[in-house]
Structures are given as C-alpha cells and as structure tokens.
C-alpha cells in the first residue's frame, strides 16, 4: 500500500508560491502528524454519528468512537483546526457500547448508531435537539444553564419498544458483483460501491423478501444490471413498499431506458413469489444521476397504489409519494401534532408540506376545516383520494409551493387558527415564515426532521411574536442519526 508521508504541510507548496494566507489556512495546528498514533478522549458525537475526540487541545473525528471512551487512534487526515483518525484500539470503552447486531454495520452507511445502547441513542437525540435550540436558535431550554423552570420544555425522546424491522420501504441499488453477477444491496459507507445484501435488520421482513425475489428473478431472466460508470445495463434500483397494517406490497423496478426485457415473465414470477403483491410499477431513469427515480412511471400490473392504515385512517400510496417509513412511530408523531394543535372542532387549520394528506386527515377529524398544500401534484391527487376514501369532507388540498400558495390564500381571505408545517430537511422557506407571521394563527405546530433548520426557523417565529412552549422528539429512525421532533408554539398576543 502506498502511504504518503506528510510532515505537517511543510513542503507541500511545491512549484508556484501560494499566498501566505492560503498557506496558513492549510497549515494544521495539530500537535501531531499524519499517520501518527495518538490517544484521545472521546467527548461527543457529531450529527453524523462520528466520535469527537480531543488530544493535546486538538479535535479529531473518530468513526466508531463513543462519548466517554478513551481510544488509541491513527491520524489519517489533518486540517487546520481538526482532523480525522481511525480507531485502532479502545483503552476505555463506554458502558453504553454494544456489539452491533448487524454483521455489515461497519461497511454499510445505513445505520450509524448500532454500537450505542438504544436508551443512550434516545438521550443523545434529545440532547442534540437541545444543543441546536440553544446554539442556532439562541433559545432558552428548561433545565439547562441554571434555568430550572423557565424556557422550552424538551421532553425525552419517544422511542420504540422493539426498535428493529421498522421500515416499510426499501430502495436498493442494483449492480454487478464478481464475474458480472447481478447483486443488490447498499452503497459502502461514503462510496458508490454496491455490496450485496439479503438481510437488513431495520427493514420489514417483507421488504427483504421482495429484494431477494427480485434478484433471483433478474438473475434467472439474465437481466443486465446497470453500470454507473458506462451507463449500460437495464436494472438500476428495486424499490419496495409494504403496508405494515394492510399487508399490501408494491414493487417498483427502476430501469435505464423504457424497455424491461421479458416483461411477461417478470410479472408472472413476481406474482407467484410475493404474497400480498398488489402493484408492479416500472420507473424509467435514463439519466446519469444519483436520483433514484426518473420522470416516467407506469403500472405494469395491478393497482397504481397500495393502501395502508394509520390510526384507523386509510391511505392510498403511489410509487412516488412521500409516506413516512416508520408507521408505528408516525402514529405517535401525528397524535402529538394533533395534541399540540389543541382542536375543539371549530378551528381552521393549514397543513403546509402536507404530502399525501396524512397529518391533514388526522387534524380534520377534530378541526372545522383543514387546508393542505404540497408541491408534488401526484401527492395532492393522493391526498384528495385519501380524504374521500375516509369520508372526510372538511379537508381541501392544493398543489404548489407552500410559500406561494399560502400568501395567495391569505389574499383570498382564508384565515387560520392553527398552522402545521412539516418541511423537508432544508426547513421552511423564509416567505412561508413571513406568511405565518402575517396570518398570525394562535398556535403553530412545527414537525421537523432536522433540528438545525428547525432551530433557525423557530428563531424567526420567536422574533415575530411566537413563543416555543414544548418540543417532543420522536424516534422515527432507530439506529440512525436522524432526529424528528414536534414543536408547539403559541402567539404571544
């Protein structure tokens, strides 16, 4: 193996003279050199789940390290203020450390926290919400910094009793393994190298079974796996979703180009081998892109949707719709959102970023009227169908960007007593926050999958006259670093 020896960065500025500042920026302040072995104390976890180590006043990120541990590590990469090191040996291990139950935990990028006891995962997720509220939101949290009572109440993270096999959806890349054999599994951590996988401990068993069946059929029918480098081959991804409550299954084959060779055999064999199969869909993605789906979707057999149920409400879900992946915890999350909305039957409620109308319909059962808005037109078609399916007449939906549709509603005289938002990771659009402040609902319920953009947006709403009362983190994604929470805000007026 070739090993590059660097002594600090001295001598790296070969050839053309670099500007002094640039050079200073490259000069690590580390008290050690690349490839050196050092002992570090691990004091935290980054939002990616890497251990944060301190040695000689310098920060080293250590994949696999846990807070409270002392480890011998090898320095792999140095920047000016921090570096990356490889865990060599634990000198002192954490009482919260576990043997990860999954064999491929180290290689796979899917889970990041399997080596951490579940109760400790939940505590870490709560703390990460608290830290974001304080650092980014400049908000006061009860129980922190000597404020015993005053400030936002951040509850304990609501965890799962059985935090395994919870995912209702799998999307696995297909490629060629040794001797061109078709494989499907996961991308090795931080790369696009596909590793074959037959069993994923956070997937519903039905999803694992579907992936195994699809692989078997593809091999038998001699389907060419897609090759990312050359752009050749047919099968790119298998996506499968199962209604955990209903038992219904959808299989989506993502192909490079519109032709799926041996389509009749595919349909016959999938139907014969997958219990509960209701829908076979093909999606065409011919672009050299990291996106899983292309624009063209067609039903090869069966229904365009599968059905599932959450808390007694039925939902039709199509291939491209957003639908929460952990249904058990979704019910907990939505019930908490409804509780924070504090509805009495009269209220007008806006559900922004409503997807297929899931939260909207939970709210509609207790509200006067719910207005849902969502950017994906297909999702809005599903939302309307879902309202009808459940005989819910007091919910109306509109497709479009929330930050455009809501100001228009306001001009049309639509008022809101409560506004619920559930934006993607990047948080709310500033124009949408302005509209909330202009509509001045009594309560705002913010459902967030990203504590840092949440904290940023709460600051804007606080400055605009709202007070954050409570936050409940709900663990939607056990063993991963993802943190979801529901926030209750009230108008200060």
Question: Which residues form the interface with ligand SAH (CB under 6 A)?
Answer: 322, 324, 353-355, 358-359, 373-376, 379, 401-403, 422-424, 429
Give the gyration radius of the chain's Cα atoms. Answer: 25
Task: Burial-class residue 95 by CB neighbours within 10 Å (0-12, 13-18, 19+).
Answer: exposed
Residue 49 or 327 with smaller CB distance to ligand SAH = 327
Residue whose C-alpha is closest to residue 454's, from 479, 422, 492: 422
Q: Are 357 and 365 in contact (CB under 8 A)?
A: no
Known active-site residue 449: yes
Residue 63 or 453 with smaller CB distance to ligand SAH = 453
What's the rounded Cα separation, in Å, for the pair 375 and 157?
A: 30
What's the rounded Cα separation, in Å, for the pair 404 and 484?
A: 26
What's the rounded Cα separation, in Å, for the pair 55 and 400?
A: 51
The two structure tokens encoding residue 142: 């009860």
Residue whose C-alpha is closest to residue 254's, from 289, 227, 286: 286
Q: Among residues 108, 111, 449, 485, which one is catalytic?
A: 449
Residue number of the CB atom closest to ligand SAH: 355
What's the rounded Cα separation, in Å, for the pair 459 and 1?
A: 51
Q: Are 443 and 340 in contact (CB under 8 A)?
A: yes
Minimum gap (Å) between residue 374 Cβ and ligand SAH: 5
Residue whose C-alpha is closest to residue 100's, from 83, 110, 87, 113: 113
Element (H, E) at 471: strand 466-474
The beta strand positions in 36-111, using DSSP E, are 37-45, 51-55, 58-62, 70-78, 82-92
Residue 211 or 354 with smaller CB distance to ligand SAH = 354
Residue whose C-alpha is closest to residue 235's, from 214, 220, 250, 209: 214
What's the rounded Cα separation, in Å, for the pair 325 and 168?
A: 5
Element (H, E) at 333: helix 327-341
Residue 69 or 403 with smaller CB distance to ligand SAH = 403
What's the rounded Cα separation, in Å, for the pair 91 and 70?
A: 5
What's the rounded Cα separation, in Å, for the pair 223 and 256?
A: 12
Residue 461 exposure: Cα atoms within 13 Å on the Cβ side: 35
Minimum gap (Å) between residue 152 Cβ and ligand SAH: 23
Minimum gap (Å) between residue 443 Cβ and ligand SAH: 17
Minimum gap (Å) between residue 370 Cβ and ligand SAH: 12
Active site residues: 449
């Amino acid at each position: 193996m070739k090993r590059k020896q660097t002594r600090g960065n001295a001598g790296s500025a070969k050839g053309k003279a670099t500007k002094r500042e640039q050079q200073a920026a490259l000069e690590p302040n580390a008290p050690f050199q690349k490839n050196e072995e050092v002992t570090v104390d691990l004091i935290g976890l980054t939002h990616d789940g890497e251990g944060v180590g301190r040695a000689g006043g310098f920060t080293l990120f250590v994949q696999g390290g846990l807070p409270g541990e002392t480890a011998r590590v090898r320095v792999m990469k140095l920047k000016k203020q921090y570096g990356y090191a490889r865990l060599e040996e634990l000198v002192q291990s954490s009482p919260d450390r576990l043997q990860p139950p999954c064999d491929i935990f180290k290689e796979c990028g899917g889970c990041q926290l399997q080596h951490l006891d579940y109760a400790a995962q939940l505590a870490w997720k709560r703390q990460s919400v608290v830290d974001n509220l304080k650092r980014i939101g400049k908000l006061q949290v009860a129980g922190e910094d000597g404020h015993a009572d005053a400030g936002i109440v951040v509850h304990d993270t609501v965890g799962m009793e059985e935090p395994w096999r919870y995912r209702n959806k799998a999307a696995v890349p297909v490629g060629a393994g040794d001797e061109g054999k078709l494989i499907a599994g996961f991308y090795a951590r931080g790369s696009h190298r596909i590793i074959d996988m037959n069993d994923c401990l956070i997937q519903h068993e039905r999803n694992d079974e579907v992936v195994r069946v699809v692989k078997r059929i593809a091999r038998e029918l001699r389907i060419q796996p897609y090759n990312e480098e050359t752009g050749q081959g047919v099968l790119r991804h298998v996506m499968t979703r199962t209604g955990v409550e209903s038992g219904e299954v959808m299989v989506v084959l993502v192909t490079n180009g519109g032709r799926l060779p041996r389509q009749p055999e595919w349909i016959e064999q999938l139907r014969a081998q997958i219990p509960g199969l209701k829908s076979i869909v093909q999606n065409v993605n011919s672009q050299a892109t990291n996106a899983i789906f292309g624009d063209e979707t067609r039903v090869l057999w069966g229904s365009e949707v599968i059905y599932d149920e959450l808390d007694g409400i039925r939902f039709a879900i199509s291939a491209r719709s957003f639908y929460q992946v952990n249904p058990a915890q979704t019910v907990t999350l939505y019930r908490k959102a409804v509780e924070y909305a504090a509805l009495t039957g009269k209220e007008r409620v806006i559900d922004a970023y409503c997807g297929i109308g899931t939260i909207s319909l939970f709210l509609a059962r207790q509200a006067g009227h719910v207005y849902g808005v969502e950017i994906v037109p297909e999702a809005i078609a599903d939302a309307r169908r879902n309202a009808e399916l459940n005989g819910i007449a007091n919910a109306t939906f509109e497709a479009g960007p929330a930050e455009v549709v809501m100001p228009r509603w306001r001009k049309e005289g639509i008022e809101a007593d409560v506004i619920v938002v559930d934006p993607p990771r990047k948080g709310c659009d500033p124009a949408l926050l302005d509209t909330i402040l202009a509509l001045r609902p009594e309560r705002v319920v913010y459902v967030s999958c990203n504590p840092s953009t949440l904290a940023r947006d709460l600051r804007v709403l606080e400055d605009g006259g709202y007070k954050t009362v409570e936050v409940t983190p709900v663990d939607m994604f056990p063993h991963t670093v993802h943190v979801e929470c529901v926030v209750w805000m009230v108008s200060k007026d």
